[in-house]
A and B are shown apart, each in its own frame.
Chain A
Amino acid sequence: MRPRLAAIFLFIVVAPLAAVLWLGFHLARDEQEMVAHRYRALVTQRLQDVDGQIARLLDNRLREISGLLQNARAPDAMRDALRQQGLLRSGFVLNPTGRLVFPDATTTVSASEREFLARTGSLWESRALVFTAPPEQAITAQKVPVEQSVQQVAQTAISAKPIPARRPAGASGWYPWFSADGLSLLAWTVDPSQYIVGAELSRSRLIADIIGALPSTSSAKPDPPEARIALRDSQNTELYAWGGYDPPKAAKSQITIPLSFPLNSWTLDYYDASPLARGITGTTRFNVIASACAFALVLLGFAIYFYREHLRQLRVAEQRVTFVNQVSHELKTPLTNIRMYAEMLEDKLPDPGERTRHALSVIVDESQRLSRLISNVLTFGRQQRKTARLHPTPGTIDAVVSSVLESFSAALAARGFEVEFAPDAPRSCIFDRDALEQIVGNLLSNVEKYAATGKWVRIETSLDSGMARVRVEDHGPGIPTHIREHIFEPFFRANDSLVEGVSGTGIGLTIARDLARAHGGDLVLADTPSGALFAVTLKVETT
């Protein structure tokens, strides 16, 4: 297979294949992204549902607690409330100005109350509960001064400036607060006399309540089956988890969301056993490549089919050409005989008479014409098969041109041509006589066929410094600009209505140019204002 054909072949197969592969991968990847996005949205929704559950639990607890605390302003009432309510660990009471009045270090305090004051001292000093918003966005743990003396707290509490705090009675809320152990939740409520009554939640009990509300994991049917949801505190310690998947220690969660206030320093993490890959999975990749290959195979099939068709047609065409050449070859020898004997008769007949002479000249002319035609065909065939060879022999340009002109003279005269012959190449040189004959013969044949309207033809020859020139000029209709190059193409015939019906094979100029070029020269159509001028140049060796 020729390289150019191979290149086309490859291009036909590879280019679409590459396009399909690229498109396929892009589509697959986009789809994967969409699936992953939807999955992430689903998981996030699920986590948010859990968060909602926890938030509702906290709301309920706050309602219970604030109801209890509304009547717990007095120390005894507060201690009773703390003793009965498992969720509460310690209590506090602030007066309307925000000053801590219970536990009161100056009066009686139990050991646990003392410890509570030591732990929470900074809160009461700064009156953070009353005057600042709780650290909603705070994730980092504050460091609390350790073991602040209880008396110290009491003193500062008493000496602080009173600042009013306006809140509606019955209002309640959370105050998340960070100690060395992590998050500690304070619940507060405003009682009818504007006192702020609050309590610190038992961290363990709060976590236990939340765990109680969250799903457990059935061994038979764990949910989620191939994933795990974990609740983590502000120090990223796992508090509780459920699901059928047990991730390795260092695993990262696929999706994490923070809980709502007041537990917004806690997170819910989702671990997936088989997370959706971002981008193309192995299966999709295989699918895309497989279908692209199938497509490529189909294209290959087509390409092979068309190539074989092409070869077949080439073979058929070649057969035809070979046949034509064979036929022409078969015709050549009998024709040569006919010409020979006709010319002999012309010479040898004593006194033929007008009619006999005319008959003979017709036979001779027509045989010559046939010879030329066959020569053309055979030469053309040889050119196509690249088997043409030149046979340069000594001779004179003028003599050859003259003899060709001679053979055309009758036909030209019949058409009313005025013939001008200006030979100027009398010197002997070495050239291929048959080639020159064919060239000039074809040019004159064209003039005869197409330039009859001009009724004039001029043939010039010249010879200098190794180049022989022959110019054939006529005053015919000329050659339109748009076909000036096409006329040299094989089988091209300018379709001119004036010469409709004229026979011709369309290979004359092709042969003439090829022969001229083979001879080291060229055949060109020169620019003329009217008519046509063909200029032949041949490279010759002067003797």
Chain B
Amino acid sequence: MANTSTGGSMLTGDHPKIKLGQNLILVGLFSQITAFGIFILVAILFHKRLHAHPTSTSMTMERLWKKHMYALYFVSFLILIRSIIRVVEYLQGTGGYIMSHEAFLYIFDATLMLIAVVTFNVVHPSEIIPGKGVSSNEMS
């Protein structure tokens, strides 16, 4: 009987060592979300300013750079949602709803990340950023 109770507490993650690991994960996830939040703000600010006061270069590629900014926002949004779900998952702990249901992993992590990766397949930054050895007049 005593053994089952110890086993039970480990299942819920009350064991101090598991707690440390999970706390570190939370720190990592929170710092990722914060960095991303700041990043999105920087991106939006840049976008608004460049739109209001275009440079000569940006004028020649207006639709292009804007298209790529929107791709960035979209992917950032996906990563943000994924990170938030992860945070909630770890906050809920081992017995929590998210961790106990596999669907969350596949919908909010696998699918979102796949869409993010494929977005860059479709809107490939090489359109706006020349690769090494490609001269700028070869860009579309």
A, B bound: no
Q: Which residues of A contact B (CB under 8 A)?
A: none
Which B positions have Cβ atoms within 8 angstroms of A? none
